[in-house]
Amino acid sequence: MIQSSQDADDLRVLLAIPVYNEVNHVHSVLTEVRRRIDDVLVIDDGSTDGTPQALAEHPVEVIRHASNRGYGRSMQDMMRWAAFDGFDWLVTMDCDEQHEPAAIPRFIEAIERDDLDVVSGSRYLDPEGRVDAPPPDRRRINGILTEEINRRLGLDLTDAFCGFKAYRVSSLASLQLDVDGYDFPMQFWVQAIANGLRIGEIPVRLIYNDPSRSFGGPLDDPANRLTVYRRTFERELVRCEDRLPLAPPTVADLSS
């Protein structure tokens, strides 16, 4: 277990989880997470079910939004908290049991190699790790947008939208992130490249416990979702145009 300011040469790692109406999963996920890491932050993005009461039963830090602000805003809050409290690394994961706490040590191993700034989970690196099939429209749009991100930024990502990631906190200081919705990754990847962040992928299992889960609102329509994500991407490309490298960066494959 990674402990505050003790193990791994005093490396401080914060694990952060965004939640919105996850009362059915909070107890099991936090119980498993805390077996593997001490410092845990939960961003409660305006839950209206029993999630706040469930969180109160666990010794974790909680930021609660008075109303639903969006996935991207939760990510921004995690990054600010990690920087303010002096953590070296931030690991993020979801609370719907689609990300396995048992994979946390693999992220810690990648962190301790100390040669990357972003360790990104990929649900498509290891075919044997695919437990479930994603909803067809999500897999299709994920593939389309990942290909566009790779082509425009010179990357070779296999999964641009997995929320299971580790970030070197100091490398986030120069990023100007302001996208509050699910299109947050479209901004993040552009800014990561514009700021010279070193990126690697590790395999994580592909798990979909509830294929009926929705984004909520207009993003439930696949065509609209694709339009929104592309609009954010194009805006960010223009915004960072003078800082994007001429030579393509690389993505390290840490699957072996």
Q: What is the pLDDT of residue 6?
A: 38
256 pLDDT higher than 70: no
Report d(CA 234, CA 214) in Å as an integer: 25
Residue 209 pLDDT > 60, yes or no? Answer: no
Q: What is the DSSP letter of 135?
A: P
Tell me if 204 sits within 8 A of 252, measured CB to CB. Answer: no
From the number of C-beta atoms within 10 Å of its C-beta (0-12, 13-18, 19+), residue 5 rates as exposed
Helical (H) or strand (E) element with 145: helix 136-153
Residue 165 pLDDT > 70 = yes
The pLDDT tens digits for 169-199 are: 999 999 999 999 999 999 999 999 999 999 9
Supply the pTM of this predicted model.
0.88
Confidence (pLDDT) at 5:
36
Over residues 120-161, the pLDDT tens digits come to 999 888 756 555 566 667 788 999 999 999 999 999 999 999
Question: From the centroid of its chain, how far is CA 167?
Answer: 9
The ranges assigned to domains in the chain are 7-253
Residue 24: what pLDDT? 92
CA max distance for the chain = 51
What's the DSSP call for residue 236? Answer: H
Superfamily of domain 7-253: Spore Coat Polysaccharide Biosynthesis Protein SpsA; Chain A (3.90.550.10)
Confidence at residue 95, expressed as pLDDT on a 0 to 100 scale = 87
Question: In Å, how far are 76, 100, 227 from 231, measured between CA atoms?
Answer: 20, 32, 6
Band of the pLDDT at 247, cuts 50, 70, 90?
Answer: low
